[in-house]
Structure 1
Amino acid sequence: MTAGRESTRQRIINVAARLLGESGPAAVTTRAVAQAAALQPPAIYRLFEDKDALLDAVAEHVFAAYVAGKQQALQHDDPIAELRAGWETNIGFALANPGVYSLLTDVSRGARSPAFRAGTQVLRDKVHRIAEAGRLRVSERRAVEMIQAAGTGAILTLLATAPAERDTSLTDAVYDAVVRAILTDAPVLDPADTTAAVVAFRTVVPRLGALTEAERTLLNQWLDRAAG
């Protein structure tokens, strides 16, 4: 793509992102975007197949910038505090960008979004550090899925409520409930809590250089089964 075409494409995305933020996905029409960008509608179709392709590009642009900021953020010494900070940041982004969030919660869009996958990896990394600290009572995969499900549900509930009527303490209550379900009370492992021990041990398997790759794969399979 030439520099001129890329510049025009970015101008269209920026204008569409502004319209999306101000009035939601319905406002991002070809005519409205063309008018705001001082272009003729055919110019948009030369760069984007249709409105859905434009919305995909806008959602990716906004969310990619957000995820890049999360990736560059300093890690907390306490992985639990880091998880809480990430939760609050994600809630804040969704409430500030409801149009983008509604696009990303569309299963077909989220599944093909590199930025969405990068955001999930940021969460996986946070959960992995908690597992290394011996604080997970469920597998890393289950913890990630529970956090995502709880966060999405809480956000969609708030977005479906008029801003003046939203009870933002809902997200705190949901977070506390998830934490009780996935974390142990302390890093000291209870001998009876075999799942926490298994999950913590699994984080060191990649560093067991005395084992072959096949042996590490088999050990991971056993540990996954033991963790349920």
Structure 2
Amino acid sequence: MTDAPPLSSRDRTRAELVKVAAGLLAEGGPSAVTTRSVAQAAGMQAPAIYRLFGDKVGLLAAVVEDGYASYVGAKHVDEAADPVADLRLGWDVHIDFGLDNPELFRLMHSGLSALAPEGSGASGSLQRGTAVLHTRVRRVAEAGRLAVAEPLAVDLVRASATGVVFTLLDGGIAPQHALRESAWLALAAVILTSPSSPSGRSGLTGQDSSAAPPAAVAAVTLGAALPTLDGFTPGERALLSELLARVN
């Protein structure tokens, strides 16, 4: 392997400003990140920020992009792990990242659309993070463990984990462990075909936690395997995918 090429002076300056801005964000929230405060903390002149980022919004968008890159880097999919356990791991990684980086997390999830217009780097990082979640959910479906359609499962996983983070950040009254565990069990009861959590603890009841009929589960499982099946034309594959989606 060859070493990565050294950063240019412009790239080093940009990285330093993003690092400084991220530190100010963590300490005081978005209001603490001004062109003046960042320039002073970095020992630079404010015009450097305008040249590299355009304005404060561009700088914050770069901080979000850097934060997403760090977040996605922690979301490695373990292909050898149990799919449900790996999904739970990703869910926990999402929550831990949010609790460890509260101001960045708020900016990522409530201010991203304003800070990162379509086509920006932050939007690309968001898409990469979502792709990792899609992969995890697809593995659960391929194992015959998913009780709902994949897009619904992806949205439910993301919504539940993000909701737990915001509830805890906003001073939720339940103990953190109790909220996290109960939220996961409630999620598992909807999207999984088994009542057992990956840690081996039982679900909310002693019966199958999924209300999905066997045909719906089979349709989800077959739909997940469809891209790997031979003998179909693209049109036939699209038609079968549409028909399987109707079963749910």
Tell me the TM-score normalized by structure 2: 0.83
Q: Relative to structure 1, is the Cα distance of residues 105 and 80 closer, same or farther in structure 2, using a 3 angstrom cutoff?
A: same
* Counterpart selection for 2:32 from 11, 27, 31: 27
Matched, 1:167 2:175: yes
Bigger share in helix:
1
* Counterpart selection for 1:63 from 55, 65, 68: 68
Residue matched to 2:208: none
CA distance in 1, matches of 2:83, 2:147: 15
| Native 8 Å contact 2:61 2:116 kept in 1 | no
CA distance in 2, matches of 1:198, 1:79: 18
| Native 8 Å contact 1:24 1:98 kept in 2 | no
Structure 2: where are the runs of 5+ without partners? 1-6, 196-210
Q: Relative to structure 1, is the Cα distance of residues 111 and 95 closer, same or farther in structure 2, using a 3 angstrom cutoff?
A: farther
| Native 8 Å contact 1:63 1:100 kept in 2 | no
Equivalenced residue count is 223
Which segments of structure 1 move beyond 4 Å, counting only runs of 4 or more?
109-112
How much has 1:66 moved relative to structure 2?
2.2
Percent identity, please.
42
SS at match of 2:75: helix
Matched, 1:100 2:121: no
Q: Relative to structure 1, is the Cα distance of residues 138 and 192 closer, same or farther in structure 2, using a 3 angstrom cutoff?
A: closer
Q: After the TM superposition, which residues 26-175 of structure 1 pair with which residues of structure 2 at under 5 Å, given as runs?
A: 26-71=31-76, 74-106=78-110, 108=113, 109=115, 112=118, 113-161=123-171, 167-168=175-176, 169-175=178-184
Q: Relative to structure 1, is the Cα distance of residues 166 and 226 closer, same or farther in structure 2, using a 3 angstrom cutoff?
A: closer
CA distance in 2, matches of 1:184, 1:111: 39
Residue matched to 1:198: 219
Residue matched to 1:220: 241
How much has 1:110 moved relative to structure 2?
7.2
Alignment RMSD (CA, Å): 2.5
Which residue type is aligned with residue 188 of structure 2?
Answer: V
